[in-house]
Chains A and B, each alone.
Chain A
Amino acid sequence: MKKYILKRLLISIVTLLVILFILFLMLQLMPGSPFNDEKLTTEQVAALNQKYGLDKPVYIQFFNYVKNMLSGDFGVSYTISKNTPIAQLLKTRLPTSIRIGGQAVLLGTVIGLFLGIVAALNHNTIWDTLTTVVSVLGVSLPSYVFALALSYTLGFKLKWFPILYDIKLPFDSSILPTIALSMFTIATIARFTRSEMLEVLGSDYMLLAESKGIRGPRLIFRHALRNALIPIITVLAPLIVGLMTGSLVVEKIFSIPGIGSLMVTAIQANDYNVTITLAFIYSAMYIGIMLVVDILYGIIDPRISLAKEGGHD
């Protein structure tokens, strides 16, 4: 187990370093230099280079870059809001994005589990079909389609919720984005829970539990759902990816001041520094979550780490 965790940790660190190296390389290869004012003499440029450590060998520059990125010193924005430190831009945006993402995960998991259980318990009935329809739709449609449909019907026509994000009403105006963002989670979890539950319900130990006289919620939650839940952890990776890409477009549609809309703006405004910082933050979050998920999975199901180690050697 220890060996497994150590190995996962090592791979995560290497991945993060690879990403940082790619980002560093991109900054190096971008045309132009920070000091391209024609009035500067060669000596002045040299002095500036020395001041910012740009005269040092590339590997030391890279080392400094890694140190800065990890300590939260991301540099300044070039075009979006000139010379503002990026860390300051992120200060309010990051919590907003994380809050809406968290709401979407919570809503999606609860509804997804509920739909999946109901469908499995009422196999081959109208409920089952309904869940299948919802899950196929949720997997098939990009989240911005849901976002557009929701903002047109519930926001624009019925005027139940604000169409655009209002900082004064952080919860009310996050309802529609949360629903739009959670559709993919609902669909994936419902689909997976259903098929896992069906398999568990047909197993011999469920028959045994039932013949021992266990009935009702106890049978479903303690005996069936617990066993069905373990493999659901494996679908977390596509879910996180879906949330990240989803957040970009959904935040853009509802004008939410989060990191997703900042990323879109930065891409469109060619603000390399902001884009690269956000790419780093997205990667770091993804790697961190994947590490936790993998370790969690190894703890819950010891067969995984054993199989993985056995498979390689």
Chain B
Amino acid sequence: MSELLTLEQVDQDGAIREAAERVEGDSRADFLRRAVLFGGAFAGGGAAVAALAKPASAASRNDVAILNFALTLEYLEAAFYTEAVRKGALSGRTLEFAQIVAGHERAHVAFLKKALGSAAVARPRFNFRGTTSNAAKFRATAAALEQTGVRAYGGQAANIDADAILKAAVSIFTVEARHAAWIRHILGQAPAPRAFETFLTMGQVLAAVARTGFIVAAPPFTGKHT
């Protein structure tokens, strides 16, 4: 999971980032074809493709793609924290963090699903590979997920078309930043390690998520949206 935070280090020649930049430059209509970056997660991808073919009435196709991108990250976070709380391996400040943040991430999922309506992508299946049943692994993974969330929302802010959607995204973005600082504080790391936050493109985030191996299956295509 630590690789989420070390993209710049592992990608010293910039190859991944260059690829991501090219992906970002593609037409928005091609967004779902990019879901292949999930490492086959959307191999069955019918549900997701069908969803984007029918964007939420008020939102542009571009905004639907960004909201579905955010929804995928929120599904991941919500499932991670919910499972960690349920497994019972956490205690003290870490448990309090997991309980509160789980509630926030589920609220973000609910909000985004409602905003997207029938255009919402279905929830993938996850395998958190032991990170929800070990407190130390949980903390390291939570720090990486929250940092990635901040960089993902920050990276998309200027790509959003509708002001109302941007305002909603910003209200989630700052909460993710609070989570990131909180878990770093619990870890004994600097809660605010720099004066300016840096962001990631959608392609960079998708590549980082793919490398975690947490998304193990696309939702089954049932012909209807969740």
A and B are interacting partners: no
Chain A interface (Cβ within 8 Å of chain B)? none
